[in-house]
């Protein structure tokens, strides 16, 4: 197997985030389930925007956030995702390239506008997302850069991309290319409601080894196995997955493998500001560590460090060099 041109290549929804603070009462009044991600149409998107408070715009999308985090750790990275050739699409492309990510997916010249996600952050730091997927849904198999996938140590997919059928086909194509080149494929389950929609298909991806590495948080894991018993779910996951990581907020994470499970504590923080991107940045750290040959515990520590940085400020992407933070923490990357 040839050496990898990229440590991690992400495939996901190319989205611009619009982030504002909100009270719990606001969520209830506007029919939003706190902590969830709801798919909305353009009319609902405009209605949400009209009632939101002052907002900041930042390029986002789950897998894109992960890839930007990996770049901040000094990794060689690429991203595949669809935008439209419009103002937000150009903003997304500029931002992700400026972060050190190779992004060559051709923009759409017609059709829906570039995707946007309206994120409401409550005082406890929890985020509630309303997403108009727009052009992101138009990712097709022919958008997959076969050489780039073959040249990546790990190809990483966000579960949110499992909604549009063409995008689903694009991921399966990428997974086949990656495995054909002797590379690994990682999957994040993304959201408990997403798991509810595609439980059988996600389990199929895990059990047939389409996914070599699986990321889930506690609620996604429990939804996957339709149980409230965490230990029982972990036992099932260990039987199904090659390698999995379950994040548990302030409890840290559990790395699950056939060889046994490794608990890794959360990294200390000064205060929780915004949970947006915590799972995305954890995945960035773990994937970079794994690609660089770290053991499970050290890869988990790198993930915890990246997640801790992003939850201490508004927005889903790092504000400082994660590579520098890792070196200061004694993690040699």
Residue 23 lies in a domain: no
Residue 304 confidence (pLDDT) above 80: yes
Residue 102 lies in a domain: no
Structural domain count of the chain: 1
Question: Which one is predicted more confidently, 8 or 276?
Answer: 8
Task: For 147-157, write each residue's pLDDT tens digit.
Answer: 999 999 999 99
Sign of CA dihedral 147, 148, 149, 153: positive
* The predicted structure's pLDDT at residue 221: 98
Residue 191 confidence (pLDDT) above 80: yes
Share of the chain above pLDDT 90, in %: 83
* The predicted structure's pLDDT at residue 333: 79
Residue 38 lies in a domain: no
CATH of the domain at 221: 3.40.1190.20
> Residue range 274-298: average pLDDT?
94
Share of the chain above pLDDT 70, in %: 100
Task: For 22-49, write each residue's pLDDT tens digit.
Answer: 999 999 999 999 988 898 998 898 899 9
Task: For 208-241, write each residue's pLDDT tens digit.
Answer: 999 999 999 999 999 999 999 999 999 999 999 9
Residue 114 lies in a domain: no
**Contact status, residue 320 vs residue 106, Cβ threshold 8 Å:** no
Residue 149 lies in a domain: yes
pTM listed for this prediction: 0.91
Residue 110 lies in a domain: no
> Residue range 261-285: average pLDDT?
93
**Whole-angstrom distance, CA of residue 46 vs CA of residue 257:** 44
* The predicted structure's pLDDT at residue 6: 98
Mean of per-residue pLDDT scores for the chain: 94
* The predicted structure's pLDDT at residue 42: 84
* The predicted structure's pLDDT at residue 314: 82
**Contact status, residue 237 vs residue 244, Cβ threshold 8 Å:** yes
Residue 34 lies in a domain: no
What are the CA-CA distances from residue 98 to residues 6, 56, 277 (Å)? 17, 18, 19
**Whole-angstrom distance, CA of residue 46 vs CA of residue 319:** 29
Lowest-pLDDT range of 114-118, 179-183, 229-233, 270-274:
270-274
* The predicted structure's pLDDT at residue 274: 82
Q: What strands, in cross-sheet order, belong to the sheet with 243-247? A: 102-103, 77-80, 6-11, 152-158, 184-188, 213-217, 243-247, 253-257, 260-264
Residue 273 confidence (pLDDT) above 90: no
> Residue range 169-185: average pLDDT?
97
Distance of CA 77 to the CA centre of its chain: 14
* The predicted structure's pLDDT at residue 54: 92
Question: Which one is predicted more confidently, 323 or 163?
Answer: 323
**Whole-angstrom distance, CA of residue 183 vs CA of residue 117:** 32
* The predicted structure's pLDDT at residue 1: 58
Q: Which two tokens stand for residue 296?
A: 């499970």
Residue 272 lies in a domain: yes
156 DSSP β-pair partners: 10, 186
Domain range for 213 is 6-13+62-83+134-328
Residue 243 confidence (pLDDT) above 80: yes
**Whole-angstrom distance, CA of residue 147 vs CA of residue 315:** 32
Residue 133 confidence (pLDDT) above 70: yes
Residue 12 confidence (pLDDT) above 70: yes
* The predicted structure's pLDDT at residue 315: 81
């Amino acid at each position: 197997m040839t050496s990898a041109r990229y440590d991690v290549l992400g495939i996901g929804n190319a989205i611009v985030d619009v982030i504002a603070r909100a009270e719990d009462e606001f969520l209830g009044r506007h029919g939003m389930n706190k902590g969830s991600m709801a798919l909305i149409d353009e009319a609902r998107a405009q209605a949400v925007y009209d009632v939101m408070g002052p907002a900041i715009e930042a390029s986002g999308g789950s897998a894109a956030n992960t890839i930007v985090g990996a770049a901040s750790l000094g990794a060689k990275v690429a991203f595949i995702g669809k935008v439209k050739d419009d103002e937000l699409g150009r903003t997304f492309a500029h931002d992700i390239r400026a972060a050190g990510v190779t992004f060559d997916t051709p923009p759409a010249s017609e059709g829906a506008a570039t995707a946007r996600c309206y994120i409401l952050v409550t005082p406890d730091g929890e985020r509630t997302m309303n997403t108009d997927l727009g052009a992101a849904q138009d990712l097709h198999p022919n958008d997959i850069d076969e050489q780039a996938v073959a040249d990546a140590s790990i190809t990483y997919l966000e579960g949110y991309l499992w909604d549009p059928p063409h995008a689903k086909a694009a991921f399966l194509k990428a997974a086949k290319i990656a495995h054909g080149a002797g590379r690994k494929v990682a999957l994040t389950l993304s959201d408990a409601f997403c798991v509810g929609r595609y439980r059988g298909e996600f389990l199929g991806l895990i059990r047939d080894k389409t996914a070599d590495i699986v990321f889930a948080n506690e609620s996604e894991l429990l939804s996957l196995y339709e149980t409230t018993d965490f230990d029982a779910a972990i036992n099932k996951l260990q039987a199904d997955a090659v390698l999995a990581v379950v994040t548990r907020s302030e409890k840290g994470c559990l790395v699950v493998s056939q060889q046994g499970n490794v608990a890794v504590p959360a990294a200390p923080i000064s205060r929780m500001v915004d949970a947006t991107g915590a799972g995305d940045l954890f995945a960035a750290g773990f994937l970079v560590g794994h690609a660089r040959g770290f053991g499970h515990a050290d890869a988990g520590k790198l993930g915890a460090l990246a997640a801790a940085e992003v939850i201490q400020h508004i927005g889903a992407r790092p504000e400082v060099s994660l590579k520098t933070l890792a070196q200061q923490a004694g993690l040699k990357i």
